[in-house]
Structure 1
Amino acid sequence: MMIVTTDYIPGKEIRELIGFVKGSTVQSKHIGKDLMAGLKTIVGGEIKEYTDMLDEARQKAIERMLGEARNLGANAIIGMRLQSSSVMQGASEIIAYGTAVWVE
């Protein structure tokens, strides 16, 4: 399934506008990794534990959005966006959303 952040797909014609689709997840790391990440803030640099957590969360949110689009009979998603928010310390929500369409 094609996913784009634009409102159209070059070379394709939107035949049907199916509707809004989204997928989300809330992810956190276990206490041991959270403690290690906290120590990293003292010395500086990338906090790999959180980078990995957010990568995993983005993938889950996108997969859930794709599943919703497939269930509606779409073959593409246009206008896709990702949004994140902190739910609590060490946990973030990631939302992937867009417009499910049928293109030819």
Structure 2
Amino acid sequence: MIITTTPSVEGKRVTAYKGIVFGEVISGVDFIKDFTAGLSNFFGGRSGTYEDELIQAREQAIEEMTQRAANLGADAVVGVDIDYEVLGANNGMLMVTASGTAVCIE
């Protein structure tokens, strides 16, 4: 399946629009991750712990969106947008949402 942020797939023609599809992931950040990220913040540098969590959440959201498009019989998802948000009383949850338009192409 082709996944793209562009509104079309170069060299392909959209033959059917199947609808908007979403993939959502809400991931909790635990005490250990907070602690190691705090050390990175204190000593400087990047927080590999949070980066790994973000990458994993994004990949899961895209996979969920792709599966929903496949269930509709789509060949591609165009106009993909990825959004990030923190949730919870202490901002301890990360929400990643992937959305796009499921289409058939030829």
Is the structural similarity TM-score above 0.5? yes
The share of aligned pairs that are identical, in percent, is 38
Q: Which runs of 4+ in 1 moved over 6 A?
A: none
1:100 to 99, 102, 106: 102
1:13-49 residue CA offsets vs partner (Å, 9 max, x unmatched)? 0000111000010112321121111122111110111
1:90 to 86, 89, 92: 92
1:90 Cα deviation (Å)?
3.4
The one-letter code sitting in structure 1 at the alignment partner of 2:9 is I
8 Å contact kept, 1:4–1:78? yes
Partner Cα distance (1:17, 1:36) in 2: 45
8 Å contact kept, 2:29–2:94? no
Q: Which aligned pairs between 1:13-92 and structure 2 lie closer than 5 A? A: 13-88=13-88, 89-92=91-94
Partner Cα distance (2:69, 2:102) in 1: 6
Partner Cα distance (2:74, 2:62) in 1: 15
Question: Which sections of structure 2, spanning at least 5 residues, go unmatched?
Answer: none
1:91 Cα deviation (Å)?
2.1
Who is 1:7 aligned against?
7
- RMSD, aligned CA: 1.0
Alignment length (residue pairs): 104
